[in-house]
Amino acid sequence: MEGLKMNSWRFIQEALESLSTNKLRTGLTMLGIVIGVAAVVAMTAIGQGASSSITSSIESMGTNLIYVSRAWENANPQALTLADAEAIIESGGAPHVMAVAPSVSTTRTVVYGDDSISTTINGVTPDYATVRNTSVSTGRFINDDDIDAKSTVAVLGSDVVEELFGSDVGVVGQKIRIGNMLYEVIGLLESSGSSSMGSSADNQIIVPITTAFSRLIARSNANNEVNMISVSAVSSDSTDAAISEITSILRSRHDISSDEDDDFNIMSMESMAEAATSITGVLTVFLGGIAAISLLVGGIGIMNIMLVSVIERTKEIGLRKAVGAKNSDILLQFMVESLIIGLVGGVLGVALAWVLTIVIKNIAAASSFNLTPVITFGSVLLAMGFSVGVGLVFGIYPANRASKLEPVEALRSE
Query: Residue 327 and residue 317: Cα distance in Å, rounded?
Result: 10
pLDDT of 257 reads 76
Q: Does the reported pTM lie above 0.75?
A: no
DSSP-derived letter for residue 157 is -
Work out the burial of residue 76: count CB atoms within 10 Å of its CB; fewer than 13 is exposed, 13-18 middle, 19 or more buried: exposed
pLDDT tens track of the chain, all 414 residues? 444 344 566 666 766 676 677 778 778 778 878 888 888 888 888 887 877 777 676 666 666 888 998 887 666 668 888 999 999 988 788 899 999 999 999 999 999 988 899 999 999 999 999 888 888 999 999 999 999 999 999 999 999 999 999 888 889 999 999 988 999 999 999 987 644 444 467 889 999 999 999 888 866 566 788 999 999 888 878 888 998 999 899 988 888 877 667 888 888 877 777 777 777 777 777 777 777 777 777 777 777 777 777 666 666 666 666 666 677 777 777 777 778 888 888 889 889 989 998 888 888 777 767 777 888 888 788 888 877 887 777 777 776 776 676 665 555 555
Residue whose C-alpha is closest to residue 39's, from 373, 391, 392: 373
The torsion angle over the Cα atoms of residues 98, 104, 107 and 109, rounded to 10 degrees, is -90
pLDDT of 11 reads 60
pLDDT of 206 reads 95
Backbone phi, psi, residue 350, to 5°: -65, -40
pLDDT of 264 reads 86
pLDDT of 178 reads 92
Residue 49, Ramachandran bin (φ over 0: left; ψ between -120 and 50: alpha; else beta): alpha
**Would you tell me how many other CB atoms lie within 10 Å of the CB of residue 199?**
18
Query: Residue 53 and residue 360: Cα distance in Å, rounded?
Result: 14
